Amino acid sequence: MSVQTEQTLDRKTLWFEPDEEQRDILAALKDFLKKRVAPGAAERDQTGEFPFEIVRELGKMGVMGALTPETYGGAGLSVVGMAAVYEEAARSPFGPVMFNAAPPDDGNMILLNKILATEALKQRWLQPIIDGTVRSAFAMTEPQGCGSDPSLTYTTATKQGDKWIINGRKWFITGAEGAQHFILLARTSDDERKGLTAFLFDAKQTGWRIERRIPIMGPEEHGGHCELVFEGLEIPDENRLLGVGDGLKVTQIRLGTARLTHCMRWLGLSKRCLEEASAYVAQRMSFGQTLAAHEGVQWMLGDVAKDIQIGRLLTMQAAWKLDQGDFARSDISIAKIHAADTLHKAADTAIQLLGARGYSKDTIVEWIYRYARQARLVDGASEIHKMVLSRAYLSEGQDFFRWGV
C-alpha cells in the first residue's frame, strides 16, 4: 500500500543549489579572498587596522550588502543565497568584514533597507554602507543591563522641540571605533513594552564620545568593542527609526536575520578548521602510518564533519523559513546554539590534531579558537536561546515539531 502526500514537494523547495548568478558570486568571492584578503591577514590581526581600500574594491564589484536590492548596488540575494555566500566568505577570518558580511554592518543594512521610509533617507544612511565608503555600529548594550534583556535600558532620549537629547552610556559596541553611522536604542518613557525608541546619528555630531576600546580575550576585529558616553547628543526627530516606542520592534527586525548570519559565518570558520586539520593528518606520519589512518583520528574528524553538516542544514532551514516570510524564531535559536558549539568543537579538535603547531600562531586555527569563545555569548547567550525554545515548546506542544512554515 502506497501512501501519497496531499502536496507534491518540489525538490528545490527542500534543498539549496546555487543558481548561475550565485555560483558566479561564490567564484568571485573565492578568488578575491585568496588574492586580496588572505595576504596581510596576520598583520591585521595584530594591528586592528581596517583596510578600507579593499572594501571599496568590493563595493565596485556589487557584492556588498547581500540582502539589499541590486538597485542600491547590493547583491539582492535571498537569505538562503546569503547563507552560501557568508559561509564561503568566512573561510578567511577577515572575509566577512571585507564583504560587509560581518556584524554590525550586515544587520544594519538589512534593517535600514526594511524600515527607512524615504529614498532620501536610504541614500543618506544606507547607500554609503553598501558602497563600503563608511562603516556603522548598533548601540544597544549597556553596563548596567540591556544585553539579552532590552528592558534594562537606562540611556535616555528626552524630547525638546523637534529634537531628542541623549544621555547615558553604552558598552561592548562592536565596530564603534571608525564607524560613521550609528543606530542607537534609548529610553523615551517608562512604558514596559513601548518605552524604547531607536535613532540614527552620525559620528561627526557632538555630545558623545568613545570612552575606551575594551580589551577582549579574542581577536581584535574591525573597530573593536567600545564603551560610549552620551552627554547631550542632539538627534533631529527626522532621524528617529519607526515610531516613538518602537525600539523593541526595531531590535527584533534587526536581530532575527543577524543572529542567523552568525551561524553562516561560524560554519565557514568550522569548515576551515577541518580543512587545516585534515590536510595535516593526511601527510603527518606517526608509528609507521599517517595520522589520518589511525581510527581515533578518524573518529575526531568524522564527529566534527557531522556537526558542521547538521549546522548547515539547521541554518538553511531557518534561512528558507525567513525567505517564506516566517520569523523562524525557534529555528534560529536552534541553529545558533548548535553552530556556536560546533565552532568551538571544530577549533579545539583542530588544535588537538595539529599538536604544538595548532597552538602556535603559525596556523589560523589559534585565531579561530580565541574567536570561538564569544559565540555562545553574542546576540543572546546559549542559555537564553534554550529558554526561548522551552517556552515555545510549552506553548506550541507537538506543533513545535511541525514541518514547513
Torsions phi, psi for 297 (to 5 deg): -65, -40
Q: How confident is the model at residue 40, as a pLDDT?
A: 66
d(CA 50, CA 47): 9
Q: How confident is the model at residue 25, as a pLDDT?
A: 73
Q: How confident is the model at residue 29, as a pLDDT?
A: 73
Instruction: Assess if CATH 3.90.79.10 describes domain 249-401.
Output: no
Q: How confident is the model at residue 268, as a pLDDT?
A: 95
Q: Mapped to the 3 state alphabet, what secondary structure does the chain carry?
A: CCCCCCCCCCHHHHCCCCCHHHHHHHHHHHHHHHHHHCCCHHHHHHHCCCCHHHHHHHHHHCCCCCCCCHHHCCCCCCHHHHHHHHHHHCCCCCHHHHCCCCCCHHHHHHHHHHHCCCHHHHHHHHHHHHHCCCCEEEECCECCECCCCCCCCCCEEEEECCEEEEEEEEEEEECCCCCCEEEEEEECCCCCCCCEEEEEEECCCCCEEEEEECCCCCCCCCCCEEEEEEEEEEEEHHHEECCCCCHHHHHHHHHHHHHHHHHHHHHHHHHHHHHHHHHHHHHCEECCEEHHHCHHHHHHHHHHHHHHHHHHHHHHHHHHHHHCCCCCHHHHHHHHHHHHHHHHHHHHHHHHHHCHHHHCCCCCHHHHHHHHHHHHCCCCCHHHHHHHHHHHHHHHHHHHHCCCC
At 122, list the grid cell.
Answer: 536610504
Q: How confident is the model at residue 20, as a pLDDT?
A: 75
207-231 pLDDT, tens digit each = 999 999 999 998 877 789 999 999 9
Domain boundaries, the chain: 11-134, 137-245, 249-401
The CATH code belonging to domain 11-134 is 1.10.540.10
Superfamily of chain region 137-245: Butyryl-CoA Dehydrogenase, subunit A, domain 2 (2.40.110.10)
Q: How confident is the model at residue 244, as a pLDDT?
A: 97
List, for the chain, all residue ranges whose pLDDT scores fall below the cut of 70.
1-18, 37-67
107-117 pLDDT, tens digit each = 999 999 999 99
